Amino acid sequence: MKVCMIVHQYYHRDGRVRRYAEALVGAGAEVDVICPKDENHPSMRQLAGVRIFPIPLGRGYKNQGSYLIEYGLALILFTVRLLGLYLKNRYDVIHVHNVPDFLIFAALLPRLLGAKLILDIHDPMPEFYMSKYDSQKSSLTVKVMRLQEKYSAKLAHAVITANSNFKDNLVKRGVPADKITVVYNMADPKVFNRLAYQQYRHHKSEHFTLIYPGTIAPRYGLDVAIRALPLLIKKIPNLRLVIIGHRTDCVNDLEALAKQLNVSSFVEFRPLIPIHEVPKQMIQADIGVYPALSDPHMDIATPTKVLEFALMGIPIVAAKLKVLEDMFSDEAVFFFEPGNSTEFAACILELFGNPARRETLVQNADRIFVNSHSWRSERDKYFNKLNDLLTTKNKGIVWGNSDQKPPSVKETYPSKTVKGKIYNDYH
């Protein structure tokens, strides 16, 4: 079986795409990925058995105009690259990952020649665009986003999306429900394995640490956490808020806010680190925080970092968003109203003074989520969808529910490939 994936992201940074690709390789498939060229790793051509074919385009959009221009250019380059590879390899399946959805049109000719197409909607573009650029639902651009979503889904033989909320919205916009498979965006248990980091959990620290590793952008509400610090440091003088992620313009704004509130010494901004180093940082923290703001996208987008907190067994304080209420409960996550720094501070103070409550939150998160969700079950849903598509081509693939062991951590993160640094974007 031959599969080609298209993604407008540096392959080694996209955990969802990597889990699909490595699961397929582990089951005996040949997998190629076409993605932008990463100038930090220009020679990367293979990772964990997956062949990587870069297009001569990076990711560098800064505003709405450059955003659309970059995606338009990407469509052209993906189309040319895919056609050349398809004529050589005759892929059975071409799996296209958004954003944007319309990248699936790069696979139009292979579709006509018999390839099966999957459109994987990591983030529905209308809501994502409204969140990223503070656009209104009635705006022309958002209407265009809905239109391209509609026709992209029509071109696909199957649509995959990341949670049931996304599916509900897609169905409301006309995508047939029986065409959509939900494959939840689970954290990777091979990386976020709390047992492997137990020796770091009880290291004595001079600080009571709150941690946020991920995208640093206004929609993630990190200003809420910083605004809470003047209230918190009165009761927790050794408090430290650790924010880990790629430095963006938002970091400058957050640093200015911390300086204005005289709390700069209580906030630590750390640069993006390899994903396999994140668990060690998490497990040494006292609380994982997710102060995202409410908007049409953030309300329904699965926050992978919260799932990672749960896997690592640290208590979670998070904004009360629909997606988290659907996945957890207030027994497992300490919720506060989005944007309310006073409530956020109250949650932190309650947990600081009540270690037993912190432990109860962890135990309930295990019971409600960790013990009942796994990437293995999501992988099998994906394999079953491939079986359904390939049955019509008389391929008879039957390994979807096999006990094939996934690649080991060593196989998944070969240091010789990228000098031991496997980075990940958090969404």
> Do the beta carbons of residue 16 and residue 185 sit within 8 Å?
yes
CA nearest to 304, candidates 237, 373, 236: 373
The pLDDT of 236-246, averaged and rounded, is 96
Greatest CA separation for the chain: 68
Is 195 strand, coil or helix?
helix
Considering the domain architecture, whether residues 282 and 389 belong to the same structural domain is answered as no
Q: pLDDT tens digit string along 250-299?
A: 999 999 999 999 999 999 999 988 888 999 999 999 999 999 999 999 99
Query: Which amino acid belongs to residue 259?
Result: K
Total number of domains in the chain: 2
Structure tokens at 100: 């944007």
Considering the domain architecture, whether residues 307 and 198 belong to the same structural domain is answered as yes
Considering the domain architecture, whether residues 271 and 394 belong to the same structural domain is answered as no
Is 417 a residue whose pLDDT tops 70?
Answer: no
Cα angle, residue 176 at apex, residues 174 and 180 outer, rounded to 5°: 120
Considering the domain architecture, whether residues 117 and 224 belong to the same structural domain is answered as no
Determine the pLDDT at residue 124. Answer: 93
Is 62 a residue whose pLDDT tops 80?
Answer: no
The pLDDT of 169-185, averaged and rounded, is 95
Is 87 strand, coil or helix?
helix
Structure tokens at 15: 């955990």
CATH number at residue 55: 3.40.50.2000
Alpha helices in 162-248 (DSSP H): 164-172, 198-201, 222-232
Residues spanned by the domain of 329: 194-371
Considering the domain architecture, whether residues 128 and 229 belong to the same structural domain is answered as no
What's the burial of 57, exposed, middle or buried (CB within 10 Å: 0-12/13-18/19+)?
middle
Query: Which amino acid belongs to residue 169?
Result: N
Answer yes or no: is 295 within a domain.
yes
Bridge partner list, 314: none
Considering the domain architecture, whether residues 138 and 110 belong to the same structural domain is answered as yes
Answer yes or no: is 423 within a domain.
no
Answer yes or no: is 237 within a domain.
yes
Considering the domain architecture, whether residues 112 and 257 belong to the same structural domain is answered as no
Cα angle, residue 397 at apex, residues 54 and 28 outer, rounded to 5°: 50
Considering the domain architecture, whether residues 310 and 176 belong to the same structural domain is answered as no
Determine the pLDDT at residue 38. Answer: 82
Considering the domain architecture, whether residues 262 and 384 belong to the same structural domain is answered as no
Of all residues in the chain, the percent with pLDDT exceeding 70 is: 90
Determine the pLDDT at residue 416. Answer: 32
Answer yes or no: is 87 within a domain.
yes
Determine the pLDDT at residue 414. Answer: 36
Q: pLDDT tens digit string along 313-325?
A: 999 999 999 999 9
Structure tokens at 32: 């190629």
End-to-end CA distance of the chain: 31
Residue 168 CA to residue 420 CA, distance in Å, equals: 40
Answer yes or no: is 424 within a domain.
no
Considering the domain architecture, whether residues 207 and 351 belong to the same structural domain is answered as yes
Whats the size of the chain, residue-wise?
Answer: 427
Answer yes or no: is 93 within a domain.
yes
Determine the pLDDT at residue 208. Answer: 96
Give CA separation, 40 vs 12, 44, 292, 421, in Å.
11, 9, 30, 11
> Do the beta carbons of residue 8 and residue 99 sit within 8 Å?
yes
Considering the domain architecture, whether residues 11 and 143 belong to the same structural domain is answered as yes
Distance from the Cα of residue 173 to its chain's centroid:
24
Structure tokens at 187: 């954290």
> Do the beta carbons of residue 254 and residue 222 sit within 8 Å?
yes
Determine the pLDDT at residue 427. Answer: 38
Determine the pLDDT at residue 412. Answer: 34
Residue 73 CA to residue 181 CA, distance in Å, equals: 29
Considering the domain architecture, whether residues 207 and 69 belong to the same structural domain is answered as no
Determine the pLDDT at residue 408. Answer: 33
Residues 6+ apart with CB under 8 A from 350: 334, 357
Is 358 a residue whose pLDDT tops 90?
Answer: yes
394: left (phi over 0), alpha (psi -120 to 50) or beta: left
Report the half-sphere exposure of 270 (CA within 13 A, side-chain side): 16
Rg (CA), the chain: 22
Alpha helices in 163-244 (DSSP H): 164-172, 198-201, 222-232
